[in-house]
Chains A and B, each alone.
Chain A
Amino acid sequence: MKRHAFTLIELLVSFMLFAIVVGAALSILFMYVSTEKKVAVIAEEIQKEERAILRLRDIFAHVYTPSKGDKSKNQYYFYAEEAIEKGARTALVLTFECGPRREITLAQDPLAKLYFDPSAHALVLYLWPNPARTSPKKFRTVEEREVLFDNVTDCAIEFWTPPKKDSADEAKWVTSWPRTNDGPPHLVRITCKREPPGADLVLAFPVRHPLTTIEY
């Protein structure tokens, strides 16, 4: 049986087919890699946001709430101030009980400031040791600044406390919580306007309070 060699046409066609198959394979491989990168970035953003929500929930659940006659009451804080920094809006300062968690580097019952930083377009949580509760000999002074939410264009922090029984007043959300108030509110609501439009964030957290009886 006589075997003939490939003709030029056959070679050209086979090269072309090979190039098409390899090109398609490479383009799909690149698409796969870039999609994986994009997915990883989006997944990380989502996880970061979820971690921030759970962190805030955890902090508000461990806010120090002084009991009546507590002598160390003045060592703890929960107040919201307008324009605590130039350009900043409401900033909330509070003391929370960290317990055996990661804030242990900040010593006992650290202070936290939650504020909108317009220059960074972010809602920021700033932690530092409570000077009234920390012995400088025992603990290093460590400060932590953590960006909780990005792309924030405006932010409001509101507070709610229940009305007294038989009170004619309706309980309302208020934007200020002065230091003169007796203890923290029962709920904190954080509203962040974000870019792009439609990505706004509304969160509400219960603040730790001892189990009280609701009278009817």
Chain B
Amino acid sequence: MKNIRSKSSKSISKRRPFLLVEAIIALTIIGIVFFFFATPRASASFVAEKRARLETTKMATLALADLIQKVEARKIPWDTLVSGNSLNNVPIAQDWTASYQFTVHKSAPDNTPNLLLVEATVVLHHGEKSMETNSLTFCIHKI
């Protein structure tokens, strides 16, 4: 009879479920570890993302101004503009370059030859990232 009792008590102790206290302690430890590792990383990536967006906004203003300077001072050859080519690797700031992609939207009417409407799209490059930021539309006329 004793043997039967001892066997049954052993099998019950083997299958014993977690106590509430044990579960709470385990969850607390998991929570602490999670916060310890997750919080600073999440904050750092959040701030880095915001900073990157701000930097892109700043560079976009400089790139657009550079494009306007080049277009209005006629620094971009006529053929580049009308053939839909791009102007690549234009330095904007340290580690930042821009490329300007030209698209002719309106062909010249018969009575105004060589009058074209061109759209320039500004694409910023920073490391391996490329971002399309602005576009500028202007008319060019070859006399």
What total of A-B pairs shows CB separation below 8 Å?
A: 104
Quick check: B32 and A25 within 8 Å, CB to CB? yes
A214 touches B35 (CB 8 A): no
Mask: chain B, 55-66; 1 = CB below 8 Å from A; 0 = not: 001100110111
**A205 & B61 in contact (Cβ 8 Å cutoff):** yes
Residue of B nearest to A205 (CB): B61
In the complex, which of the residues B31, B61, B141 has the most CB atoms of chain A within 10 Å of its own CB atom? B61
B32 near A211 (CB under 8 angstroms)?
no
A178 within 8 A of B: no
B140 & A53 in contact (Cβ 8 Å cutoff): no
How many residues on the B side are at the interface (Cβ–Cβ under 8 A)? 39
B133 to chain A, nearest CB (A): 12
Given A162-B72, A203-B62, A213-B140, A53 contacting B36 (CB threshold 8 A): no
List 29 A-B pairs, Cβ < 8 Å: A28-B32, A28-B36, A29-B35, A35-B39, A35-B40, A43-B46, A43-B47, A53-B57, A53-B58, A53-B61, A54-B57, A162-B72, A162-B73, A170-B73, A171-B72, A186-B68, A187-B65, A202-B58, A202-B62, A203-B62, A204-B65, A205-B61, A206-B68, A212-B138, A213-B139, A214-B139, A216-B74, A216-B78, A216-B141
